[in-house]
Structure formats: C-alpha cells, structure tokens
C-alpha cells in the first residue's frame, strides 16, 4: 500500500505540475499572440510613417524648388526696379533740363 500511495502521490504531483505547465503555456501563448499583434501594429505604423516621410520629403523638395524660383524672380524684379528707377530719374532730370532750357529760350 505504501508503494501504491507513493505512486498515487507521485501521479498527483506530476498531474499538478502538468496543470501548472499548461497554464504557463496558455499564458505564454496568449502573451506571444498579443506581442505578435503589437508587432504587426507597429509595422503598420512604421510603414505609414515611412510613407508620410516620403510624402513630406517630396513636398519639401517641391517647396524648395518654388523657393528658388521665387528668389530668382525677386532678384530679377529688384534689378528691373533699379533700372526703372534710374530711367525715371534720368527722364526727370532730362525734363527739368528741358524746362530750364525752354525758360531761357523764351524770355
């Protein structure tokens, strides 16, 4: 009987150990599945971020090109303004000289 009790107690001990291990496996399986889902979500987020970065880079490149075009336009317009101002100044001086000459010529 002692032998039967030992076997029975050993069986109960092993059964209890098996049940605990099954619970651990279930917990680990659940945690693994949760981590897999989290990894998948993070991958999707990463891919979305990469696409957004690419879009922003394209927008940045376009804006830089526009900035360069506008800078060139501003430079050209500034030079044209200087030319117009000099032309206006020259015409104004010529008109003054002409008026002076006309006043001198018609006494």
Residue 88 has a pLDDT of 97
Greatest extent of the chain over all pairs of C-alpha atoms, in Å? 154
Q: Within a domain: residue 61?
A: yes
**pTM score above 0.85:** no
| Domain span holding position 64 | 1-77
Residue 36 has a pLDDT of 98
Match 């104004």 to its residue by tokens: 92
Q: Is it the case that residue 3 has pLDDT exceeding 70?
A: no
pLDDT band at 6, cuts 50/70/90? Answer: low
**Residue 26 structure tokens:** 């279930």
Helices of type H across the chain: 2-105
d(CA 106, CA 104): 6
pLDDT-above-70 percentage for the chain: 93
Number of domains in the chain: 1
Q: Within a domain: residue 67?
A: yes
Q: Within a domain: residue 103?
A: no
Q: Within a domain: residue 106?
A: no
d(CA 87, CA 96): 14
């Amino acid at each position: 009987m002692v032998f039967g009790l030992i076997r029975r107690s050993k069986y109960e001990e092993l059964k209890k150990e098996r049940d605990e291990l099954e619970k651990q496996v279930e917990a680990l399986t659940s945690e693994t599945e949760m981590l897999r889902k989290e990894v998948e979500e993070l991958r999707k987020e990463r891919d979305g971020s990469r696409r957004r970065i690419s879009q922003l880079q394209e927008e940045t490149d376009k804006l830089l090109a526009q900035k360069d075009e506008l800078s060139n336009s501003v430079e050209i317009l500034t030079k044209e303004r200087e030319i117009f101002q000099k032309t206006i100044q020259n015409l104004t001086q010529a008109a003054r000289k002409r008026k002076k000459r006309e006043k001198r010529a018609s006494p």
